[in-house]
């Protein structure tokens, strides 16, 4: 009976060794977690069987034989513990890798969202810049055309000045918003259009100011003429006088009624 139990134990040990090797191979080859967990579960089952077969075998041993049997099972248990530690470390490392992968994926997602947001802001800034430039150029052409007319009311000129100032201010603000989204290299190429706008603005504003100065002089001349014409004095009407002589009263009355 002891030899038969020993043979059964040897068979269980062979299975245990095979399952241990399969587990260690899956760990060293960095297989997926499911395969490692499955191989470990089979190793645990093989270890439990080996333990039970060893206990059955020791039932047939003498006291002096038990010490060797205990050493044998202790060595097997050490092999099982080493395999268990290897499996635990594999799972820990795998969890760290998965956590790092999730963190990297989250960082990538955040960066992609930031890039998308920046692109949207850049597109909006470009549209705003192009719109501001188009509106300014339209206002500039309108003001240039008005200056070719013979008579331009001062109110119209001032209205054009305000309109040009507003559109030029929008150009500067749109340019600042665009530059804030660009790198230093890209910003340098986007700064060329504003000086041209500024030169056009200064030129047309100077012409409008000059026109206002002329209009002011003409208005002053007209006002002087009006004041001169209104200052012409009419000759005072000479009224007849009555000195109290009753003999002269009929004559005074007749002259008074003629006035």
DSSP string, 185-234: HHHHHHSSHHHHHHHHHHHHHHHHHHHHHHHHHHHHHHHHHHHHHHTPPP
Q: How many residues does the chain have?
A: 259
Cα separation of 166 and 136, whole Å?
Answer: 9
Domain boundaries, the chain: 2-110, 112-220
Contact 143, 164 (CB under 8 A): yes
Could you tell me how far CA 8 lies from the centroid of its own chain? Answer: 72
State pLDDT tens for residues 113-147.
Answer: 999 998 999 899 999 999 999 999 999 999 999 88
Please give the pLDDT value at position 217: 46
DSSP string, 120-162: HHHHHHHHHHHHHHHHHHHHHHHHHHHTTSS---HHHHHHHHH
State pLDDT tens for residues 196-227.
Answer: 999 999 999 998 888 887 755 445 444 545 44
- Predicted TM-score (pTM) of this structure: 0.54
**Torsion-angle region of 30 (φ positive above 0: left; ψ -120 to 50: alpha; else: beta):** left
């Amino acid at each position: 009976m002891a030899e038969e139990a020993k043979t059964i134990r040897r068979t269980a040990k062979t299975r245990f060794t095979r399952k241990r090797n399969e587990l260690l191979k899956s760990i060293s080859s960095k297989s997926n977690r499911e395969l490692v967990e499955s191989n470990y579960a089979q190793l645990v089952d093989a270890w439990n069987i080996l333990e039970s077969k060893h206990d059955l075998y020791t039932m047939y041993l003498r006291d002096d034989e038990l010490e060797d049997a205990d050493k044998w099972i202790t060595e097997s248990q050490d092999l099982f513990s080493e395999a268990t530690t290897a499996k635990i470390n594999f799972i820990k490392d795998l969890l760290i890798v998965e956590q790092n992968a999730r963190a990297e994926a989250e960082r990538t997602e955040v960066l992609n969202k930031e890039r998308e947001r920046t692109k949207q802001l850049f597109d909006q800034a470009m549209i705003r810049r192009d719109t501001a430039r188009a509106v300014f150029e339209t206002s500039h052409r309108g003001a240039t055309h008005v200056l070719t007319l013979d008579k331009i009311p001062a109110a119209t000129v001032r209205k054009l000045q305000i309109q040009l100032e507003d559109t030029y201010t929008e150009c500067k603000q749109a340019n600042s918003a665009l530059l804030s989204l660009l790198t230093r290299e890209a910003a340098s190429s986007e700064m060329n259009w504003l000086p041209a706008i500024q030169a056009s603005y200064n030129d047309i504003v100077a012409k409008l100011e000059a026109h206002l100065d002329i209009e002011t002089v003409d208005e002053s001349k007209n006002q002087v003429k009006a004041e001169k014409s209104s200052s012409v004095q009419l000759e005072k009407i000479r009224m007849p006088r009555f000195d109290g002589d009753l003999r002269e009263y009929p004559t005074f009355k007749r002259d008074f009624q003629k006035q």
